[in-house]
Amino acid sequence: MSETQRIDQWLWHARFFKTRGLATKLVSGGKMRVDGAHVAKPAFALRPGMTLTFPQARRIRVVRVEKLATRRGPAPEAQTLYTDLSPEPETDVPANPRYEGKGRPTKKDRRSLGLSDPHRLE
């Protein structure tokens, strides 16, 4: 095994993306940062100790590369390739209003909850 590995290949081996093509697309789109600098080439040579920052689903992932991969193994093996430094996701999103009673809320209940009439345009 060499001392470097393609960044798209490592992301796929570490199971951040389902296919290598998705990892390549993310890097080519300019959405990857390595040690704070933008990287736009999927063939970027990745080494252990580098810090990667990239979007995954609806959150930003920050990971430090611990070692390079030789194969795409099972998830426990893939988790040994990196240390997750991602910030905890924010949980300040208010929950949807819920009716606390039984059955369907009455018109009076909907008014008290502040729910508008679904047929009325505002």
What residue ranges do the domains of the chain occupy? 5-84
pLDDT values of the chain reduced to their tens digit, one per residue, 122 residues: 569 999 999 999 999 999 999 999 999 999 999 999 999 999 999 999 999 999 998 889 999 999 999 999 999 999 999 999 988 877 766 667 766 667 787 788 788 877 665 665 55
CATH number, domain 5-84: 3.10.290.10
Structure tokens at 100: 């606390």
So what's the pLDDT on residue 74? 95
Amino acid at 102: K
* 56 vs 45: CA distance, rounded Å: 21
